[in-house]
Amino acid sequence: MAKKLNDLLAEYGKVRDGITDLKAQEKEYNAQKRELEAQIAIRMQDEGLEKISNGGRTLSLKKEIVPTVDDWDALQEYVAKTKRFELLQKRMSATAYREAIGLGEDIPGVESTELTKINFRST
């Protein structure tokens, strides 16, 4: 027999609450992890170490170059001029897209897909 809609709503609320609790725990663990990573990296650098191991666990320091854009206009001009679109992640802004089509603009190469989502509020 199918569950009553009210029972489904109650169950949905419990699942959402569980996810919220897990996200809070994940946030706390990630903060602890970042703090430990910072402490370990500082200690390893102070001791001139690039790699450490203990009980089957290994940590190594890795340097990596990542971009920090300080002038988006200049970057966008460069990308448009050189066609170096691989410098950007391929993801459209849904908000900007909805705004454009709301103004009647036709964006080539893009198809609208309508999603139905459940909006849940708890008091």
Taking only the tens place, the pLDDT of each residue in 60-78 is 999 899 999 999 999 999 9
**Residue 114: inside a domain:** no
The predicted pLDDT at position 101 comes to: 95
> Range of 18's domain?
5-60
**Residue 121: inside a domain:** no
Give the pTM: 0.65
Measure the CA–CA gap between 122 and 116, rounded to whole angstroms: 20
Measure the CA–CA gap between 113 and 53, rounded to whole angstroms: 49
The predicted pLDDT at position 74 comes to: 96
> What proportion of the chain, given as a percentage, has pLDDT over 70?
100
**Residue 87: inside a domain:** no
Q: What is the number of structural domains in the chain?
A: 1
The predicted pLDDT at position 73 comes to: 96
Consecutive 10-residue averages of pLDDT for the chain (123 residues) = 93 96 98 94 93 90 92 96 94 94 94 84 75
- Kindly compute the dihedral angle of the four CA atoms of residues 58, 65, 94, 102, in this order, to the nearest 10 degrees: 170
Instruction: Note the residue count of the chain.
Output: 123
**Residue 105: inside a domain:** no
Measure the CA–CA gap between 100 and 110, rounded to whole angstroms: 12
**Residue 30: inside a domain:** yes
Provide φ and ψ at 68, rounded to 5°. -130, 110
**Residue 36: inside a domain:** yes
